[in-house]
Each structure stands twice: as C-alpha cells, then as structure tokens.
Amino acid sequence: MTPKDDNNISAPAPEDDYSLEEILAEYGGSLEQHLLRDTEKAQPAPSAPAEPPEDETTPQEPETPPVPEPPEEETPPAAQEPPPPPETPETPDPIREAEQAAEANVARLNIPHPKPISLEDVVGSTVDAVMEEAREPILPPKRGLFSRKPLEETETLPPPPEPEPEPDPEPIGPEPTLWEAAHDARQLYIRRRHTVLLPLVTALPPTLFLLLERYQVKVPYWSGDREVQCAVLLVCLGLTALLCRHVFIKGFGMLLRRRCVAELLVSLSALVSALDCAARLLRREPGGIMPYASVSCLALVFAQWGVRRESKGNYDMLRAASLDEDPPYHVTGTLQGACKQRGSVHGFFTTAARNDEATLWQTALTPVFLAASLVFAALSSAGQERGGDFLLNLSAILPAAATFSLPLCWALPWSKLSEHLQKTGCAVAGWSGARKISARRRMIVTDSDLFPPGAVQLNGRKLYGETQERAVSLAASMARAAGSGLERLFNNLVRSEGGHYEKVDDFSFYEEGGWSGTVKGESVLMGSASFMRKMNVRLPADVNLKTGVFLAVDKELAAVFAVKYSPSENVDFALKMMQRSRIQPILASRDPNITPSLVKRKFSRGVHMEYPGLSERIALSEAEKDRDLPRALLFREGLLPYAETVAGSLRLCKAVRRAVVISLLGSWAGTLLTFYLTSLGAYELLNPLALEVFLLLWTLPVLLMADWAGRY
C-alpha cells in the first residue's frame, strides 16, 4: 500500500523501494517498444486513435499477472463497467506503418529478435544472484587517497620474529694452570736460549769463503778444490743442523698435527743439500757447480732464530699471566669493540694455544711450494737432459721457496709485543686474543678508565635544610644505584661521616644528566645543575659549579657537592696513543659530569670521543658484566694498560699480515727465478752468494715491521 502524508496525499516512495512494475517497466521492454516511443515523440498524436488490429507476426508483450489494487468503496455494477466504444471504419495507422518499417530494418540488419522473459525467470535469476553474492566474501569499500575515514584491518598481523639464538660458547678443553704453563714455557725457552750464536758460527765460514773469492782473494785449501769445498760444506751443514735441531723438531712435529710450516721446507732443503754434497764426494768429480749448502746453513740459522723468539714470546706472555690467579681485569672482544671486564682467567690458555695467521697461511701454501719445487727441479734437470743436476737444482729452489723471512713472520713481532706488555703488567692470549680485541678498532671507555681512583676528589659541600649524615647517605645510595665513578667518592664520605646506605626504589636515568629514585617514599633527584633546572628545582643564584653534584628531595634542593676531576698524565698519553693508532674510544660514562666537553678541557683537545645516547651508554657500561673468554689480562688500573694492550694487538696483527704477504711474494719470486735460471743452466748468475743476497733483501722489510710492532 502506498504511504500517504497527513493530507491524505500519496507520498513518493523512497529511492531504495521499487515495485515490481517499475522494475519490469525499466528493464523488461523490448526493442519494438523503444522504437515506438521514439516514433511517438517524433509524430503528433491522432485525434481519435484506434486500437491496432491484432497480428500474429507482432511480438506479444510478456504477460504479467494482475497487480492487486488497494480496496476501494463498493460501487454499483453499472458504474464499474464502461460502455464499449462504437465501431469505426479502418483507417491507415501511422504507428502501424512505423512499426512495420522498424521490423524491416531489424530484418535487414540481422538484429536478433528479443525473446520474451517470463516473471518466473526474472525472479529465479534474481534469487540466484543474491545467493551467489552471499557466498562471496564481503570486501571493504574502496576509499580515496585522502579519505579521513580509517581503513579497516582485513589481514592478521604476522607474528613477531623469534629472537636470534645466542651463539654457542667456544669450547674450552682441559687446560693446565697458568703457573704450570709458564713453568713449561720457561724450560723450553732455556733449552733454546743459546741456540742461535753457535749455529751462526758454523754457518758463516762457507759464506765468508765465497765472499773472499768474489773479490779475488785466494783461500788456502779452499779455492780451486771442489772436493774440499764439498767436504767443508757438508761438515758445516751437519754441525749447523745438529745445533738447529729444534727446527727439525718443529717442522716434522707440526706435520704430525697436520700443519705444514716453513720450518719443514728449511729442513728438507738442508737434507737435499747434504745429499748433493755427499753425492759429489762419492762421484769424485774434479769440477762442477758450487753446491748451495751455504744457503741452507743460513736458512737453518734464521729458522732457529724464529723458533727461539717464539718460545721467548710465549714465556713472557705466560709469565705475566701467572702473576695473579685472579687478575683485576681481563679484556675481551664484543660487537661494539674491546671491553674491559671482571672475571676468571679460565679459557686464556686455550685462546693462547691456537695457531697464528702465519701458520695458517703457510699450511695452505707450503705444500704448493714443495710440489712446485719438485716439479721445477725435474723440469730443469731431466727436462733439459741433465738428470744428474736434479739434487743441485732442488737444493737451489727449496731455500728460495722457504725464504729466510717466512719463519720470522709471527715469531719476531710476537716476542716484541709480549716483552713490552710484560713490563707494563699485561698479557695477550696469542694471535687469537690480539685479533679479537683489535678487529673493530674501538674501545669502550668508562668513568674509572678516564679518572681512576684518586683522580676524583671532593672540593667542598653545602647543605640546604638536610643534616650532613642524611645528605651523604642519600647521595651515596644514589651513586651506588647508578654504578658511576662517584660511588667510590661517596663511599669514603659515608665511612667518614657515619652514614649508611638506603634502599633506592624506582631508579631511573635521565638524558639531561641525572638520576631519580624513591627513598622511603621521598622523591630524590641527583645530577648536574642543568638537570635540576629542567626538573623545576630552584637553585640559589650564588651557586655556579661546572662539575658540581646537586641533591634534591621532593623537588627541594638538599645539598651541593663540589667535585674536582684531576687529569692524569698516563690517561692523556693513552688517549694520544689511541689517536695515533686510529682507535675510536666510546665514552660509556654514567657520571653526569663526564662528557666529551669535560674530556677536552681536562686532556688533549685533539682527542675525539664517540658519545652515544643514554640507553646505549648504559648498555655499553653494563658490558663489563658480560662473561666471555679472556683475550688479554690486565694487572694495573687506569686507561694506559688497557690502551697499550689494544693498540699493541692492532700493531701485531698488522705487522704479521704484512710480513706474511711480503714473505709469500718473495717465495713465489724466488721459486720462479731459480727455476728459470736453472733451466737455462745459468749457474754463474745463480751462484750461492747471489742467492743469499736475494733472500736477505726480502728479509729486511720483515725485520723492520717486527721492530715497528713494539713501538707505539
């Protein structure tokens, strides 16, 4: 029923409420109906239109059921049925003619004739469409780019990522005490202490004789007699090998541990040179090429020197580490850099016993040099139809492949550094420890590092409404809760003034340079003057302290402590050392007064310190409580031993790496050069004296870098 308003007038239906007749009138019309409407608009309506005759060819309109009308008042039957219209003669109908013309156009254009649609089909398709939409998920409405309406979440958030698993701790096997290890290292060093001078005495005569002959000086019983020369060389080589037996022990001992080092090549070159001299004596050749036994003698001396210096470095390191079973500090490597911690020395010996980088590089490349020497010796002798020169060529190529400097790459810098650190009360756990603490070139520096005990002093105090005992107790409790360098200062005050520590609740740090906490229900603030002003604590106008510590209770000033920070020469020297070594210090201080500006005022102005945010500073300062394997041990307070350990480790790593690179390049150059000259048979150019000079020139840079490792 159509809704009506107050005046009994039919109101228009709402926009969303459509009747079935309106739907059929909108969509159910055929093409003919649309054409008829257009024709009716084009031509005027007739005065007395007659009903068009029914035609079988005319498409019938879809039958629609009668729509029930609203009930009305009863009327007499005569009034309800109007009289039929009178019959009129047939006249030409323009509408009929337009309809026939439209049908002709449809037939000519091959337009498909619309089929009639019944009401049941319309209702069925509508119900199917509604059911289809009910099965589909409802999508959120699209919104414009600048729509203020919030978008609804249609997807579930992914779960938070799982925390990364902590790295597995490094395995630590059974290890002796540091005192036992130091005792064993001392015994080994004593056995090798005087094993360089005597081998040098037995190895130098052949070289001196060759040098005299070079300058046309005749040596009795030597010059011109090749058999005597071979005998003398064999004797000198045998004595040198006997005195340098530790080279053979180390070379073949490391081979049993699956490590191929330069000492093995030196030992093999000495054996090959001895076989060459013995073969010449057995053949009794009146002439021939001078053997290369003198080169092998000098190679044994340099290798023995390296063995001795390595044992000396290990002894100095373990002797310093065994001074105290519980050293005050140890240095370890973290993701942020080197960090000074407190803890046990368990694991120090395991770290120190690991192989150095020179040994690892030699293990990888020494077998290649050995194989290349054998192949090149065969090619330069049998390949040139001189099979009898195999031992001679091999005795020339092997010392060139080993070089004099390769056994010294690790031994000389290590002994230099360990000797220096042993005098300053420090010890580094070998190559592994030095690499761990110096890899990032950063050091975490705390309050006690810059201002050790005795450098922070109380220069005066002033109380405002609090007793002296109460003020000192609150200040000491806050300093202990903060874990800053002021704790030691106020600890002495508590002991001297008879105060006591209070429990601090709800302790917090502030970026502005201060701390807050609750003591027995009272709000306590402690920090610098700027912190107090930002916390709305009124300060007297006559108080102007750059390094003062202010204490406030319930936003009222309670006490002022004038703190004096005295710079130390050792700390200043350590900061300059770090600057020269390009090591970045990270200031992780908890004292609100210790800032980069204070460091520049008290120490060298050229020192640049990294000053991270508050949360990072606290995290870095708490890194002292971490427990990692000790990479170095410190037996003295202050920043200088700490800086010397890290800077010395960095220089050690640099010196060893550069020495290894130079020595390996010299090995390749010597191997290729000796192969080329021996294949040509140019033994006059490749005489033993020239080969010794070539190898000594490659050793000189290694000696200079070893000395540089101990100077910083």
What would the CATH number be for the domain defined by 456-565? Answer: 3.40.1110.10
Task: State how beta strands 522-527 and 548-553 pair.
Answer: antiparallel
From the list 248, 257, 243, the residue with the least C-alpha distance to 359 is 257
d(CA 261, CA 256): 11
Model pLDDT, residue 168: 55
Q: 7-29 pLDDT, tens per residue?
A: 444 444 444 455 555 555 555 55
End-to-end CA distance of the chain: 105
Model pLDDT, residue 341: 87
d(CA 532, CA 557): 9
| φ/ψ (deg, to 5) at 463 | -105, 150
Residue 90 has pLDDT above 90, yes or no: no
Highest-confidence range of 114-123, 163-172, 419-428, by mean pLDDT?
419-428
What percent of the chain has a predicted confidence (pLDDT) above 70? 75
202 close to 243: Cβ distance less than 8 angstroms: yes
Q: What average pLDDT score do residues 225-241 get?
A: 92
Instruction: Count the residues in the chain.
Output: 712
Query: Which residue in this structure is represented by tokens 């870095």?
Result: 620
Model pLDDT, residue 653: 95
| Structure-token pair, residue 165 | 């698993």
524: left (phi over 0), alpha (psi -120 to 50) or beta: beta
394 close to 380: Cβ distance less than 8 angstroms: no
* 595 vs 163, higher pLDDT: 595
Model pLDDT, residue 388: 85
| Structure-token pair, residue 420 | 């220096």
d(CA 382, CA 411): 39
| φ/ψ (deg, to 5) at 364 | -80, -35
Model pLDDT, residue 61: 40
d(CA 702, CA 705): 5
Q: What average pLDDT score do residues 702-709 get?
A: 88
Q: What average pLDDT score do residues 608-628 get?
A: 78
Per-residue pLDDT band for 673 (boundaries 50, 70, 90) equals very high
Q: Crossing angle for the helix pair 688-708 and 197-214, nearest 10 degrees?
A: 130
From the list 173, 417, 399, the residue with the least C-alpha distance to 265 is 399
Task: State how beta strands 442-445 and 584-587 pair.
Answer: parallel
Q: What's 106-162 look like in SS3?
A: HHHCCCCCCCCCCHHHHHHHHHHHHHHHHHCCCCCCCCCCCCCCCCCCCCCCCCCCC
Query: Which residue in this structure is represented by tokens 């427990």?
Result: 627
d(CA 149, CA 165): 42
Q: In this structure, how many other beta carbons lie within 10 angstroms of the beta carbon of residue 172?
A: 13
Model pLDDT, residue 165: 52
Q: 349-408 pLDDT, tens per residue?
A: 999 999 999 999 999 999 999 999 999 999 999 888 888 889 999 999 999 999 999 999
Burial class (CB in 10 A: 0-12, 13-18, 19+), 411: buried
Per-residue pLDDT band for 131 (boundaries 50, 70, 90) equals low
Residue spans per domain, the chain: 178-330+349-436+645-708, 456-565
d(CA 210, CA 222): 10
30 close to 59: Cβ distance less than 8 angstroms: yes
Q: 442-455 pLDDT, tens per residue?
A: 999 988 889 988 88
What are the b/e assignments for 84-120, b being 16+ CB within 10 Å?
Answer: eeeeeeeeeeebeebbeebbeebeeeeeeeeeeeeee
Report how far apart, in Å, the C-alpha atoms of 696 and of each of 41, 241, 403, 524, 662 are: 117, 20, 8, 72, 13
Model pLDDT, residue 88: 45
Per-residue pLDDT band for 287 (boundaries 50, 70, 90) equals low
Longest CA–CA span in the chain (Å) reads: 170
Indicate the pTM of the whole model: 0.72
Report how far apart, in Å, the C-alpha atoms of 188 and of each of 184, 310, 315, 607, 660 are: 6, 11, 9, 44, 26
Contacts of 45 by beta carbon, 8 Å cutoff, 6+ apart: none
Per-residue pLDDT band for 68 (boundaries 50, 70, 90) equals very low
Q: Tell me the average pLDDT of the chain.
A: 81
Residue 3 has pLDDT above 50, yes or no: no
Amino acid at 172: I
Residue 650: helix, strand or coil by DSSP? helix
Model pLDDT, residue 159: 60
d(CA 253, CA 154): 70
Lowest average pLDDT, out of 128-132, 249-253, 524-528, goes to 128-132
d(CA 539, CA 498): 27
Q: 196-226 pLDDT, tens per residue?
A: 899 999 999 999 999 998 888 888 888 878 8
Report how far apart, in Å, the C-alpha atoms of 379 and of each of 342, 367, 382 are: 61, 18, 6
Q: What average pLDDT score do residues 460-489 get?
A: 89
Model pLDDT, residue 119: 59
